A = this chain, B = another copy of it.
Amino acid sequence: MDLPSKVKLREVAPRDGFQSLKDFLPTEQKLQIIEAVVKAGVKDIESTSFVSPRAIPQLRDAADLLAQVPRQGVTHAALVPNLKGAQNAISAKVDQLVVVISATEAHNQENIRRSIDESLGDLDSIFSLAKGNDTPVIGALAVSFGCPYQGDVSEKNVFRVVEEYISRGAASIILADTTGMATPTRVQIMVLRFREQFPGVKFTLHFHNNRGTAMANLLAALIAGATTFDTALGGIGGCPYVPQAAGNLPTEDVVFMLEDMGVSTGIDLEELITAAHLLEKFLGYPLPGQVMKSGPRDPKLAAKICGVGQNL
């Protein structure tokens, strides 16, 4: 396998993970989780979302949280659904904006009650505002690998929106498998064609594990040349109260696997597991991450961090 020597992991638990929580997680606890992953070496965080407090009450503390997060050496991104969100995010001094449009009409309608063209129509004002404030914009594509309403998604539909992002100066692109419909060959084809179609354009893969394929998809993407991935502490994400929902790739599982494969993440696994345990303590129920339960390969370290002794 031809693997990169290092990759970048964007920690999305504070946005994609927390937004799915039913009960409000106190700002102080959100802050502690961000501090804990920063201590572990995480440098890129999607820290919150500037959305309507009525739409996602969980993230109503976005500005308050961003006023307290560690800034030194850390890039804080925030998801914004519209111009108002972008204005609020910039006022709160985010380092990056993330905008999202779905690759299919049906999903865009369900997700934000607008057509893709309506969403595209908003981009000019958001990009213009961001440019005026020296704030990079990341363009994300929901349901890039399959849509729960339409099924298969054509590359053409994905690349059409990617082109709109790039033409407006997007700093990078996120290809999201929003409901876990990707499999390795789909990922490989998408990554190879993306690189061919948009040479030099930075891109991130964002996988969900609804069908158990997320880690294999990451491996396929890595082999195809991807070097940036969204992951979430403990694998949080999706609604914990809905049985079919499934989380993001657990950051600590990804760090464990990649570091063992000789691919550097710059993140300390032991500190990261400690952070995942803290999150589980705050939530009061088990997270899907596996390494936080079984520990690293080293039996002594596993016993020390996870108390699992022999973890048979």
Chain B residue nearest to A3 (CB atoms) is B185
A244 touches B299 (CB 8 A): no
Interface members, chain A 207-221 (any B CB < 8 Å): 209-213, 215-216, 218-220
Assess the B180–A1 pair: CB atoms within 8 A: no
| Contact across chains for A260 and B219 when beta carbons are under 8 A apart | no
Q: Which residues of B contact A183 (CB under 8 A)?
A: 256-257, 260-261
Q: Which residues of B contact A211 (CB under 8 A)?
A: 253, 256-257, 290-291, 294, 297
Residues 262-307 of A at the B interface (beta carbon under 8 Å)? 262, 286, 289-291, 293-295, 297-299, 302, 306
Is A298 within 8 A of B151, CB to CB?
yes
- Taken together, the copies of this chain in the complex come to 2
Please tell me if A188 contacts chain B, counting CB pairs below 8 Å. Answer: yes
A146–B297 contact, CB under 8 A?
yes
Contact between B299 and A213, CB atoms less than 8 A apart: no
Q: Which of A146, A211, A215, A297 has the most CB of B within 10 A?
A: A211
- Smallest Cβ distance from A74 to chain B, in angstroms? 25
Interface range, A side: 35 or more
A151/B297 contact (C-beta < 8 A), A260-B185, A261-B183, A289-B212 known: yes
Flag if A180 contacts B260 (CB, 8 Å).
no
Q: Mark A194-233, 1 if CB is under 8 A from B, else 0.
A: 0000000000000001111101101110010000000000
Q: Interface residues, chain A, CB within 8 Å of chain B?
A: 1, 3, 110, 146, 148-152, 178-181, 183-186, 188, 209-213, 215-216, 218-220, 223, 235, 243-246, 250, 253, 256-257, 260-262, 286, 289-291, 293-295, 297-299, 302, 306, 308, 310-312
